[in-house]
Amino acid sequence: MFQSIFILGLLAQPPANVAAFDTPNDEGSSITVTWEPSPADSGNLFLFRGYEIYRSDTPTGEFKCVGFAAAGATRFDDSNTDIQDGQEYFYVVRALTSSGHEDSPVAGPVASSAQWFNTQRVNVLAITLLISALVIYYIRRARAGDRLFVRKIAGLDAIEDAVGRSTEMGKPILYSFGLSYLNEVWTLASLSILHRVAEKCAEYSTRLLVPHYDPLVMSAAQETVKQAYAEAGRPDLYDERDSPFLTADQFGYAAGVDGMMMRERPGAVFWQGYFYAESLILAETGHSVGAIQIAGTTSVEQIPFFVVACDYTLIGEEMYAASCYLRPDPQMLGSLKGEDLTKAMILVFLAGAAVLGTAGVLSSHFFDYNGLNVLFENVVQWFNTF
């Protein structure tokens, strides 16, 4: 009997140390309320049911319930749409028990505001500044005339040889984007390669066939080929009929391209874009007609098929470097070098961290960013006062 009375008396105690503050690292209109658990919050859901959070514009005004937190919780983010930045609010946390409820003292005033920076993303800021600094440095070097090393890409160097061989044999050239769409990065990279191929075809007066899977890619490719022919001084060689739309069906497109290869017997075939299960079907047909094949894709699953069936294969980011490789503009060249150096530094860091972590040298407390975070938060708070 006395034990039951003691328990009921214990359940009547409210949460302690209730605090309300502006939610950090957010876009505003949010206030965070924290508290220490009520002594009755011992995990018994029958005796203790949770916490209700109340808010008011004045410390003595009418408080309205704005949320509920389950037993064991010590935090609540009040992000209701009626919160206005700059308006002061007061909060009360109520402990709900089987015998009633008890309210905490009033916490506040507190006002919400939007922060300019997310202090938890300092690492992203540091990496962004590092990449930007390296890219700007190499762009300045390239513009100053320094020769920046770019390793040889055999597939791009072989473009002129492939076009020349087709010309000597009196055969056309076939170029395919695969199942690519115009809003994809590899399609834009493939257009740069197509421009170079079209220039060589115009120079050697060689017919260029470009069958398409997507109508928008077809329009972009037609303009690219037309411009390349004009820059080479042979606009009369351009024929829009050599760049047809076949179908938007995957294997229907593969069958159409295979039929075109069997009829026209091209001397060189370029597979530059994104491919799926039809990749090996296309590459095998190109091999059967005796064509030189130069492939390039970012599809990891299809790269092995192109490697075994084609003469040259651009793997992954080699496609993205094609525009810079074929036309070494200082801005593109500097960007390429800066990005490559950044990736090399990240790989070295990851490899070193993996080795040290495996050896037990690193621990979760090895790096202490608390000092840096406190300093950055103080700077941000000062910045937000303006």
More confident residue, 13 or 262: 262
Averaged pLDDT, 255-277: 92
Q: Are residues 193 and 278 in the same domain?
A: yes
The answer to the question of residue 58 being in a domain is: yes
pLDDT(220) > 90: yes
Q: Is residue 80 within a helix (H) or strand (E), and if so which, with residue range? A: none
Q: Which has the closest alpha carbon to 35: 105, 100, 90?
A: 105
Q: What does pTM read for this prediction?
A: 0.63
Q: Are residues 57 and 197 in the same domain?
A: no
Q: Are residues 184 and 302 in the same domain?
A: yes
Q: Residue holding tokens 């140390």? A: 17
For the stretch 352-379, pLDDT in tens is 888 877 877 655 444 444 544 555 555 5
Provide, rounded to the nearest whole percent, the portion of the chain with pLDDT above 70.
Answer: 89
Could you give the CA distance from residue 31 to residue 114 in angstroms, rounded to a whole number?
A: 11
In the chain, the amino acid numbered 322 is A
For the stretch 126-176, pLDDT in tens is 888 888 888 888 888 888 877 777 788 888 888 889 999 999 999 999 999
The answer to the question of residue 158 being in a domain is: yes
Residues 180/273, Cβ–Cβ less than 8 Å: yes
Q: Are residues 193 and 251 in the same domain?
A: yes
The answer to the question of residue 195 being in a domain is: yes
Residues 161/173, Cβ–Cβ less than 8 Å: no
| DSSP assignment of 107-118 | EEEE-----S--
Could you give the CA distance from residue 59 to residue 334 in angstroms, rounded to a whole number?
A: 61
Q: What is the pLDDT of residue 10?
A: 47
Could you give the CA distance from residue 224 to residue 219 in angstroms, rounded to a whole number?
A: 9
Q: How confident is the model at residue 381 (pLDDT cuts 50, 70, 90)?
A: low
**Last residue within a domain, chosen from 301, 327, 353:** 327
Q: Are residues 286 and 201 in the same domain?
A: yes
80-91: buried (b, 16+ CB within 10 Å) or exposed (e) per residue?
A: eeebeeeeebbb
**Last residue within a domain, chosen from 327, 347, 370:** 327
15-26: buried (b, 16+ CB within 10 Å) or exposed (e) per residue?
A: beebebebbeeb
Q: Are residues 175 and 38 in the same domain?
A: no
For the stretch 44-97, pLDDT in tens is 656 778 888 888 888 887 888 888 888 888 888 888 778 888 888 999 888 888
Q: Are residues 194 and 315 in the same domain?
A: yes
The answer to the question of residue 301 being in a domain is: yes
The answer to the question of residue 353 being in a domain is: no
Q: Could you tell me which residues come within 8 angstroms of residue 108 by beta carbon, excluding any fewer than 6 positions away? A: 20, 59, 88, 89, 90, 91
CATH of the domain at 89: 2.60.40.10
Q: What is the CA radius of gyration of the chain?
A: 33
Residue 295: domain span: 154-327
Q: Are residues 179 and 308 in the same domain?
A: yes
Could you give the CA distance from residue 246 to residue 288 in angstroms, rounded to a whole number?
A: 22
Q: Are residues 302 and 185 in the same domain?
A: yes
CATH of the domain at 272: 3.40.50
In the chain, the amino acid numbered 175 is Y
The answer to the question of residue 170 being in a domain is: yes
**Last residue within a domain, chosen from 49, 80, 110:** 110
Provide the number of structural domains found in the chain.
2
The answer to the question of residue 310 being in a domain is: yes
